[in-house]
Amino acid sequence: MTQPASPAPAPQPTNNKAGAVRRRPRLWAKTWPYLAAVGSLLAIWQLAATAIGKPFLLPGVVDVMPRLARIFTNEEFTTGFFKSLYRLALGYPLACLLGALLGLLGGVSKTFAVYLRSLISILQSIPPITWVPFFMILLGFGDLTVITIITIASFFPMALSVLNGTEGVNRTHLEVARTLGASRGQLLTKVFAPESLPAFVTGAQVSFGNAWRSLISAEMVGGASVGLGRYLSYRSEIADMQGVLLSIIVIGTIAAVIDLVLLEKLKRRLLHWRYVSGGDQ
Amino acid sequence: MQSLELKQVNKSFGSLQVLSDINLKVEKGEFAVIVGHSGCGKSTALRMFAGLETATTGEVLADGKPIAGPDPQRVMIFQEHALYPWRTVEANVGFGLELAGVDKKEKRARVNAVLDKVGLDGFQRYYPHQLSGGMRQRVAIARALVVDPEVLLLDEPYGALDAITRLQMQNELIKLWRGTGKTMVLITHDIDEAVYLADSIYVMSPRPGRIIQKLTADMPRPRARNSQAFVDLRQQIMDSLDIGTYSI
């Protein structure tokens, strides 16, 4: 916390180019353990397949990879693939929006916060797929049922995270805004909301995990006739072990890509002020 | 400009009495300083002027009218600067204008003018965590000044700064205030700071806070910290706080 004699000299010209150069080795340091983890899983799989020696029971990596490479030419698979992504693209943002909104409201009203916590604890104790039979009767077979289940399963991590975030809002930050003349609405949009952004990002990440798991499982137990989950369970029914394995790979890869690339980008964008270097902290 | 007054104010938090029968009047354009032990309730008194706290009994007045709540005419500056970490210097300073719906062009001009005044021109795009403690507190002062309030309420603004920076900031504060006619109320436990800055000094007792003594500092500014008048006043304050000397 040193104070320059005259304020003119800047505390080091900051960022961008310098930051980008520094980030590259760090990216690699984060990437290679990840690649090692993927590699070891594949190695265990291949070893097990070789040991068992029955490709119809457990095909090896070398058996599945060629089919995986061609999988997007298979119409049954691609239809299911895009159908699942479509459901995710509707259900997940809807859940995030709903969760964030409810969480923020809980930050403003103590009574609502208690109500919301109770609601969440009830919903949390019901596994999402138990809603499948219920919504299948109510909403029918297909998109609407699956999307509703995704939303139910993934709104509450977001709501809980944002609620905790708003409870941690710096009291002085609120008072500064109040003395400068902020209305209740402005407190919400200009202090509560930005202050809860880190919690929002955490919530988005946890919610995504819930959304993806409930999407696949809802499709698997019969919430819809097409979709990645449905493809997987059908391949199992006809004892197509290659199809089962490649579905698992695709399901895992999509989740990892969305989590590591999209959500990480979102985080850096929303919280970009945290990644500005320089200064004394 | 506004005058500020506490009339027979008592304040309790539950069974804990914090302020006891406080009477205090700050005239328009006056620089008043309240000194006292930490935890004596001086911040509570200041927060009443800001409209962030209400009196349990008694009256809190601005220009003779009761204070109902916060008002951008009376802006408070907090000890821990309380800048928004997600806003740049520019956006932090412009916050009050943004709340008031001032248009972008005017906002930018006023922000730049006030940043220039506090010596932070060129730091518009920095984030608070990139600045030193003194610079952050300057930003906090700029954020208050930009809305051109009639009253500035400062709650131990330099309490977290190192000694040298603190003296520098005191000089800057006097320069910023002189000629503006703004009413200032500053809370501190730094006796020298009080004598150096104030027109009038209120000494408060430990909890429950009472005004033990009101002193007038009428030395011309800029003040010499070692002048006889300065030293005498400092001794008077220490005596009334019962820390003037000790017995073996």
Whether residue A280 is predicted with pLDDT greater than 80 in this model: the reply is no
pLDDT band with cut points at 50, 70 and 90 for residue A6: very low
Burial A46-84 (b: 16+ CB within 10 A, else e): beebeeeeeeeebbbbebbeeebeebeeeeebeebbebb
Tell me the percentage of chain B whose pLDDT exceeds 70: 100
Q: Which residue has the tokens 């300073």?
A: B93
Please tell me which residue of chain A has the smallest CA distance to B147.
A180
Task: Return the minimum-mean-pLDDT range out of A18-27, B85-94, B190-199.
Answer: A18-27
Q: Which of A240, A238, A237 is nearest to A57 (CA)?
A: A240
Interface test with B, best of A3, A178, A201 (most B CBs within 10 A): A3
Alpha carbons B209 and B212: distance in angstroms, whole number: 9
State the pLDDT at residue B70. Answer: 94
State the pLDDT at residue A23. Answer: 57
Mean pLDDT of chain A: 86
Burial A238-257 (b: 16+ CB within 10 A, else e): eebbbbbbbbebbbeebbee
Give mean pLDDT, residues A56-61: 90
Residue B120 C-alpha, separation from nearest chain A C-alpha, in angstroms: 6
SS3 track for B132-155: CHHHHHHHHHHHHHCCCCCEEEEE
Give mean pLDDT, residues B134-161: 93
Which region holds residue B30: left if phi is over 0, alpha if psi is between -120 and 50, else beta? beta
Whether residue A29 is predicted with pLDDT greater than 90 in this model: the reply is no
* pLDDT digits 0-9 by tens, A250-274: 999 999 999 888 888 888 888 888 8
Which region holds residue B3: left if phi is over 0, alpha if psi is between -120 and 50, else beta? beta
Please tell me which residue of chain A has the smallest CA distance to B50.
A179
Whether residue A208 is predicted with pLDDT greater than 60 in this model: the reply is yes
Give mean pLDDT, residues B135-151: 95
The residues with which B59 forms a beta bridge, in sequence order, are B7
Whether residue A196 is predicted with pLDDT greater than 90 in this model: the reply is no
Whether residue B130 is predicted with pLDDT greater than 70 in this model: the reply is yes
State the pLDDT at residue A108. Answer: 79
Whether residue A8 is predicted with pLDDT greater than 50 in this model: the reply is no
Residue B37 C-alpha, separation from nearest chain A C-alpha, in angstroms: 22
Q: B224 near B235, Cβ under 8 Å?
A: no
Q: A146 near A227, Cβ under 8 Å?
A: yes
pLDDT band with cut points at 50, 70 and 90 for residue B194: very high
CB under 8 Å to A275, separation ≥6 — which residues? Answer: A19, A268
Q: Do B82 and A279 touch (CB under 8 A)?
A: no
Q: Do B52 and A182 touch (CB under 8 A)?
A: no
Look up the ipTM and state it: 0.91
Q: Do B135 and A3 touch (CB under 8 A)?
A: yes
Complete DSSP assignment for B47-70: HHHHTSS--SEEEEEETTEE--S-
**Is B132 in CB contact (< 8 Å) with chain A?**
yes
Residue B208 identity (one-letter amino acid): P
**Is A178 in CB contact (< 8 Å) with chain B?**
yes
Output the CA–CA distances (angstroms, integers) from residue B115 to A7, A105, A278, B137, in the order listed: 11, 36, 21, 12
Alpha carbons A73 and A68: distance in angstroms, whole number: 10
Please tell me which residue of chain A has the smallest CA distance to B167.
A3
State the pLDDT at residue A20. Answer: 46
All structural domains of chain B: 1-73+151-248 (3.40.50.300), 81-148 (no CATH)
Residue B235 C-alpha, separation from nearest chain A C-alpha, in angstroms: 31
Q: Do B120 and A4 touch (CB under 8 A)?
A: no
Interface test with A, best of B98, B99, B126, B138 (most A CBs within 10 A): B99
Q: Do A3 and B168 touch (CB under 8 A)?
A: yes
**Is B230 in CB contact (< 8 Å) with chain A?**
no
Q: Which residue has the tokens 């205030």?
A: B177
* pLDDT digits 0-9 by tens, B215-234: 999 999 999 999 999 999 99
**Is B76 in CB contact (< 8 Å) with chain A?**
yes
**Is A4 in CB contact (< 8 Å) with chain B?**
yes
Architecture of domain A63-269: Orthogonal Bundle (1.10)
State the pLDDT at residue A22. Answer: 53
**Is B165 in CB contact (< 8 Å) with chain A?**
yes
